[in-house]
Amino acid sequence: MRIELFQSWLKSEMGLQKKSAGDVVSRINRVKKITELNLENSYEDIIAQLDNNEEFKKLSVFVQPQIKRAISLYQKFWQEQVENR
């Protein structure tokens, strides 16, 4: 799974501490649990689907933007992976 590589990337490329990187990974895992989203889809498509998801709507207004940021970071990571192939 790419999650371990993603967490390493968060620390090395984004300068996140271990706990912060773990929090981002946790938010990605939460998205995977509440949706069937493909995280390689466009950011706009993912957010539109999340905004229409009842489980996502139930999350606090503080957690929702954190999840959206985690998705943004994952997509940046994924794009770098695709470009480096």
Token duo for residue 70? 């985690």
pLDDT < 70 positions in the chain: 1
| Residue 45: strand, helix, or coil | helix
pLDDT of residue 48: 93
30 closest CA partner among 76, 80, 60: 60
